[in-house]
Structure 1
């Protein structure tokens, strides 16, 4: 009975730590590819987001297909250190809102915090690669939906950047690491986690809308149901049928400016199954 993000979605990006411009460009191009205002080759990132837009609130309003980057803020001084707790992520948002040129957008805004290679976050690598929640008014002044995703490139690529890095227990199975579409294991691994978290944030922003299970404090959401699936026939450790470019780099979606991405599938409320625009059936 909770809301979904049915109004045009304004993403406020917070780059925490030191981020090379090349990494920012890859992530920005993915985010810009979500909206239907961009035209991409099939299968496209915008088509992938259409599965997310099938989710509605109790009034029948769909998750918005309009997704824009409304503002960016770089916290290069690590204002809250290089070791963050889940709660201190909200302090990072509060600092950014006070410092940044963007206002608190409590109607259409979502806040996406991305931590750099050298930042550790509570439960990162051990239990999560990203998470979403909402801010407490006591911390930020408003209830704002947000998501956090970390760059796992040096800390745990085999956990959070799979299949571009392979866990040790799979080393003898014959399954080798796949080449990332933008030639960066950590950032390309982040892209799928960002897609996962944004899909869940859009369909369950206040943790009282779309989820499976009886416990809203530990929900199974529309990304969780399809984790590890990227193409037709996936399952049991096999990611499914995906594509390769002429350099052997793996992808399943086309984005803006000729970029390609590998993004996990999302649970479709229409098909009652995991779905993506690169499906072969």
Structure 2
């Protein structure tokens, strides 16, 4: 006998909640190493060469799809955004595929991501391009979002009566960016950004997506490090951001982190370390907090200084950015275009 409509609804809700809870460990990432309050192990002081440490890393391919076709990033701007802020983020995404930037470049960083392949041997696409955008400046789902309501925001964007975002499950990435007055479940306490895929029961499609929040008002010392620092670490000074916007410059590395993991593990069944797909460690997780040679433990690694004193490690088309490194499975350590030994 088929279950009643109400019973089926209960089963559907329970299934969705179980999947959401299972997704939680996938997305926990902060741009600075975890330190205990009052830690004396300050972030700039110890030089531990983590990027050469591969003894306990067993990154494997689990036969799922990766993004081998040209990647299109469709952006949802949730809340109030300044034109200047949007421009910084757009120029970073455009820089991923450019061949014109001066080294060390964002496109040089992406070449490590391109090393990953699917089961046919096809590499991650070289091309990452901006797709269509959707503005949700009136906070259609409120200023406090859950993991479930994030998918509802994406649904609203792809089903809108006026200029809906295209649905491209194969090569589209859906990037939900929330403004600095929006709180998302686990934001600041556990995550600065996360990725997963939408459920057809909510959105109508299985779409790889990522959320990243602007932390400038809520927790810049957590999610915009090193351009803002935790207040509980005495004597630690923030670095100058390369584009003059602490919140957005802090978002850039999180956006890069999530795009790299979406490309190599879009449905959470491709490239990751660990035995349990509910608790994967992905190619950017392995390099958390590492921005240059010597990075690891509590040290960011060697970065670069602009003529005005701003800190960065990669050049884009017209701007400079600070972006964390990613794991290179051929050499079994974290790599980036600003490495001193390449």
Q: TM-score, normalised by structure 2?
A: 0.79
Q: Distance in 2 between matches of 1:146 and 1:33?
A: 20
Could you report, residue by residue, the CA deviation over 1:135-174 in whole angstroms, capped at 9, with x for unpaired residues? 00011111000000000011111111111111123223xx
**Could you tell me which residue of structure 1 aligns to residue 221 of structure 2?**
158
Cα distance in 1, alignment partners of residues 151 and 97 from structure 2:
27
Q: Is structure 2 residue 211 aligned with structure 1 residue 148?
A: yes
Distance in 1 separating the partners of 2:233 and 2:287: 20
Q: CA deviation at 1:39?
A: 1.2
SS of 1:235's equivalent? Answer: coil
Match of 1:272 in 2: 332
Q: Does 1:30 align with 2:92?
A: yes
Matches of 1:186 and 1:106, distance apart in 2: 30
Among 129, 139, 151, which residue is 1:68 paired with? 129
Q: Pick from 116, 139, 144: which aligns with 1:55?
A: 116
How far apart, in 2, do the equivalents of 1:164 and 1:210 lie? Answer: 31
**Shift of residue 101, structure 1, vs aligned partner:** 4.0
- Alignment of structure 1 residues 203-218 onto 2, 5 Å: 203-218=264-279
Give the Cα separation in 2 of the matches to 1:211 and 1:87: 24
Aligned residue among 244, 248, 253 for 1:192: 253
Whole-angstrom CA distance in 1 between matches of 2:179 and 2:85 = 10
Structure 2 unmatched runs, 5+: 1-62
Partner of 1:249: 310
TM-score (norm 1): 0.96
The residue correspondences of 1:113-132 to structure 2 (distance < 5 A) are 113-132=176-195
- Could you list the structure 1 runs, at least 4 aligned residues long, displaced by more than 3 angstroms after superposition: none
Measured in 1, the distance between the counterparts of 2:66 and 2:297 equals: 31
Whole-angstrom CA distance in 1 between matches of 2:333 and 2:215: 29
Q: Does 2:257 correspond to 1:223? A: no
| 1:42 to 2:106 alignment | no
Q: What's the RMSD between the two structures over aligned residues?
A: 1.0
Q: Which runs of 5+ in 1 are unaligned?
A: none
CA–CA distance in 1 between the matches of 2:159 and 2:234? 47
Separation in structure 1 between the aligned mates of residue 265 and residue 279 of structure 2, nearest angstrom: 13
Aligned twin of 1:88: 149
Residue deviations 1:86-123 (CA, integer Å, cap 9, x gap): 11111010001112343211222110000000000001
Mapped partners of 1:102, 1:85: distance in 2: 21
Residues 107-118 of structure 1: pairs in structure 2 closer than 5 A: 107-118=170-181
CA distance in 1, matches of 2:337, 2:87: 24
1:21 equivalent to 2:86? Answer no
